[in-house]
A = this chain, B = another copy of it.
Amino acid sequence: MNKNSSNTMALAPNTSSKRETVCIFGTGDFGRALGHKMIQSGYPVVFGSRSTQTSSLIPKGAEVFSHAEAAQKAAIIIIAIQRQHYDFLIPLAEILRGKVLVDVSNNVKINQYPESNAEYLAQLVPGAKVVKAFNTVSAWALQSGTLDASRQVFVCGDDMEAKHMVMAIVRALGLTPVDRGSLLAAQEIENYPLQLFPMWKFPILLSLGLTAFFFFYCLARDVIYPYVYENKDFSFFIAISIPNRICPILALILLALVYLPGVLAAIIQLYRGTKYRRFPDWLDKWMLCRKQLGLVALAFASLHVLYTLIIPIRFFVRWRISSRIVSQALNNKTEPLNTTNAWLSDSYLALGILGFFLFVLLGITSLPSISNNVNWREFRFVQSKLGYLTLILCTAHTLVYGGNRFLSPSSYRWYLPNAYMLSLIVPCIVLVVKFVLIFPCLDKPLTRIRQGWERNPQYSE
């Protein structure tokens, strides 16, 4: 038995029998890109088009027919046409009865129409089995084969078998189908590719605002004040010194803002005596973007660490140290070690290191692949216990940094306190309120409320 030749012969008809013909309505960019990719993956492809003239754009190997003719050649029809032209399908309803129609369309705006394009299609052609798919993939990526980003294709539809047929095609194209349930999910799937980090908007705008405020605050205190009163040019502070003041301040404030809504929610629940009433909208939204707030805080903390570690390499710092040593040498004096200062400096740095370390740990556990692998008990342990420990360490780091400068009048310029003092307000409030809330007289009723107990249960008639 000549293995190779016989095998190949036996294989060929086998293979072609597996890939059923796919019909694509529409010869636009996305339709052609999809057709191209399907032909590459071994599917016979026919295009349905108003003009049946074969243009050079049609992928090689595909044929072009009228819509009716093309539809009769395949069980699966991909509708690569814009929603506003779906009307032309109504006269084809008889031919499309029982066929699988794949809606690949996208809109220009989120929630552009009252119902999703796929549901609209299902109403226009009631006899067909509509499946939503492929809208999350870009034509350009299909064309060029550079699918660096998500290979996930969300699929939804009411007919289980039709969905499985489409998912088989998705897999054959080298993409990963993700079943999102019934056609009701189509709206969400159609909105998905239009999003641009929706949960990040508030944290990023907030941090931009705070950054601008603290930048001008520090500019006034650290650059303009010495220039006006001491005629010193410290304008180069803009590059590193001022960013290295802003970053830790923002990291601390944003980290505290992650834990503030939880504290507020507890107060509201204690006051209302029930958990069965909705929080105000702003609190709900705030709670939903806590993860993003925390990650922005972590970004600022990381920048603070980099800016701090780079300090001894700075020209200005080297100049200041060497000129101080030279003047010491010229004055012929040696300072003894000030143990208090050594303690302050070392404990301040150690608190910062430990706080940052825990902060990074929190960040790592919020990676999707890790948070999917921990259960709720573990997640709550990390995010709540470790989270508060991080907040305590970082607040302590800032307090010790202040050291004995807190009330010294020399640290006020134009009656403005040091910027780091402003950053302590929110975290201290959060920590104090949280400390009060863990007293048993408040913790016990809160726990009971969260388990479903109500202070004033009202029975309806």
Point out residues on A near B: beta carbons under 8 Å. 4, 7-8, 10-11, 14-15, 18, 28-29, 32, 42, 53-57, 114-115, 119-120, 122-123, 136-141, 143-146, 148-152, 158, 160, 164, 168, 171-172, 179-182, 184-185, 192-197, 233, 235-237, 239-241, 243, 265, 275-276, 279, 284, 287-288, 290-291, 299, 302-303, 305-316, 318-319, 321-330, 332, 334-335, 337-339, 341-347, 349-350, 353, 356-357, 360-361, 366-381, 383, 450-452, 454, 457-461
**B141 x A376 contact (CB < 8 A):** yes
**B325 x A334 contact (CB < 8 A):** no
Question: Among the listed B239, B291, B315, B454, which residue makes an inter-chain contact with A148, where contact means beta carbons less than 8 Å apart?
Answer: B291
State the CA gap A180–B379 with chains docked (Å): 21
State the CA gap A143–B139 with chains docked (Å): 40
Question: Among the listed B53, B315, B370, which residue makes an inter-chain contact with A367, where contact means beta carbons less than 8 Å apart?
Answer: B370
State the CA gap A121–B136 with chains docked (Å): 37
Q: Which residue of B lies closest to A315 (CB)?
A: B345
**A150 x B374 contact (CB < 8 A):** yes
State the CA gap A288–B146 with chains docked (Å): 6
Which residues from B are CB-within-8-Å of A287? 144, 146
Closest approach, in angstroms, between the C-beta of A133 and any C-beta of chain B?
A: 15
Given contacts A313-B345, A368-B370, 11 further A-B contacts (CB under 8 A): A143-B275, A145-B284, A146-B288, A150-B371, A150-B375, A236-B339, A239-B349, A307-B353, A309-B309, A316-B337, A330-B332
State the CA gap A115–B8 with chains docked (Å): 8
**A350 x B239 contact (CB < 8 A):** yes
**A328 x B326 contact (CB < 8 A):** yes
Which residues from B are CB-within-8-Å of A241? 346
Question: Among the listed B55, B164, B312, B367, which residue makes an inter-chain contact with A460, where contact means beta carbons less than 8 Å apart?
Answer: B55
Question: Among the listed B236, B310, B326, which residue makes an inter-chain contact with A329, where contact means beta carbons less than 8 Å apart?
Answer: B326
Question: Among the listed B56, B328, B353, B369, which residue makes an inter-chain contact with A459, where contact means beta carbons less than 8 Å apart?
Answer: B56
Which residues from B are CB-within-8-Å of A347? 236, 239
Which residues from B are CB-within-8-Å of A151? 372
**B346 x A319 contact (CB < 8 A):** no
**A350 x B452 contact (CB < 8 A):** no
Q: Which residue of B lies closest to A327 (CB)?
A: B334
Question: Among the listed B42, B314, B372, B460, which residue makes an inter-chain contact with A346, where contact means beta carbons less than 8 Å apart?
Answer: B314
Which residues from B are CB-within-8-Å of A332? 330
**B313 x A349 contact (CB < 8 A):** yes
**B319 x A379 contact (CB < 8 A):** no
Ordered by A's residue number, 25 sampled pairs between the chains whose C-beta atoms are within 8 Å are A7-B123, A14-B119, A29-B452, A54-B459, A56-B459, A138-B376, A145-B288, A146-B287, A148-B379, A149-B383, A150-B371, A150-B376, A168-B182, A195-B378, A197-B378, A237-B346, A243-B350, A308-B310, A311-B312, A311-B313, A315-B342, A316-B337, A322-B325, A329-B329, A368-B373
